[in-house]
C-alpha cells in the first residue's frame, strides 16, 4: 500500500507523525514497535502531539506541503495490520493439512521462538505481541509458562514477563 497525502508532523527529534483516520467502528490499539521497529501507533486511548507544541528539544511543526491537508483515511491494508484479528469462536480448532487438530503447545511454538530471539530494546515488545497473538487465538493461558521462560532467556525478569503477559490478556479480553 502507499500512504495517501495526509497531515505529517515533524518532531523535534527528527521523527514524523503521520495522521490518518479510521472507520468509527474499528478500534486501533496503541502499540510501540509492533508494526515495525521504530514505528509507534496511537489509536484508542492514545493522544497526538500537534503543531505548535514545544518541548525542551524543540517544536512540533507540519511537514512542508501538509499543513493545509486533512487527515486522510487509513489504507485498508494498513488498517488490517494495525487491528487485532477477531478471536476464534469457542470450540473452533485450527487443523494441520493432515486434518488432525493441532495441539496447543505446538501452535505456540513459533511465538515462543519469536520471543527467545528478541534482543535488548525489543524484548518486552516481542513478548507483548506474542502473548496478544496467543490470547487472540485462544491458547494464551496454555502458553503463559513457555512465554515466561522465553522472556527470562532474553533477560527480562519474571515479574516483567508476567506483567507484560497479563497486559496482553487484558487487551485481548474484549469488552
pLDDT digits (tens, 9 = 90+) for 20-43: 998 888 888 888 877 777 888 888
Beta bridge partners of 174: none
pLDDT at residue 88 above 80?
A: no
pLDDT of residue 106: 63
Angle subtended by helix axes 123-136 and 158-172, to nearest 10 = 40
pTM of the complete model: 0.51
SS3 state of residue 107: helix
| Exposure letters 45-74 (e unless 16+ CB within 10 A, then b) | eeeeeeeeeeeeeeebebbeebeeeeeeeb
Yes or no: say if 72 and 21 are a contact pair by the CB < 8 Å rule. Answer: yes
Nearest to 127 by CA among 119, 115, 139: 115
The model's pLDDT over 99-115, given as tens digits with 9 standing for 90+, comes to: 443 444 467 888 898 89
Domain ranges of the chain: 8-82, 104-172
Is the confidence at residue 92, as pLDDT, over 50? no
Q: Taking a C-beta distance cutoff of 8 angstroms, is the pair 84, 132 a contact?
A: yes
User: What would the pLDDT profile of 122-158 be if each residue is shown by its tens digit?
Assistant: 888 889 889 988 998 889 999 999 999 999 999 999 9
Amino acid at each position: 500500500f502507499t500512504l495517501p497525502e495526509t497531515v505529517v508532523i515533524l518532531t523535534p527529534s527528527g521523527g514524523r507523525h503521520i495522521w490518518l483516520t479510521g472507520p468509527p467502528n474499528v478500534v486501533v490499539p496503541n502499540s510501540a514497535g509492533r508494526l515495525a521497529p521504530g514505528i509507534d501507533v496511537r489509536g484508542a486511548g492514545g493522544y497526538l502531539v500537534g503543531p505548535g507544541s514545544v518541548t525542551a528539544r524543540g517544536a512540533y511543526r507540519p511537514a512542508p506541503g501538509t499543513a493545509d491537508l486533512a487527515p486522510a483515511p487509513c489504507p485498508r491494508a494498513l488498517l488490517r495490520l494495525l487491528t487485532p484479528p477477531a478471536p476464534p469462536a469457542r470450540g473452533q480448532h485450527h487443523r494441520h493439512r493432515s486434518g488432525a487438530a493441532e495441539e496447543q503447545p505446538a501452535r505456540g511454538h513459533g511465538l515462543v521462538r519469536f520471543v527467545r530471539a528478541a534482543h535488548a530494546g525489543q524484548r518486552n515488545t516481542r513478548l507483548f505481541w506474542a502473548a496478544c497473538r496467543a490470547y487472540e487465538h485462544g491458547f494464551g493461558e496454555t502458553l503463559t509458562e513457555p512465554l515466561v521462560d522465553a522472556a527470562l532467556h532474553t533477560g527480562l525478569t519474571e515479574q516483567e514477563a508476567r506483567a507484560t503477559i497479563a497486559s496482553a490478556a487484558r487487551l485481548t479480553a474484549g469488552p
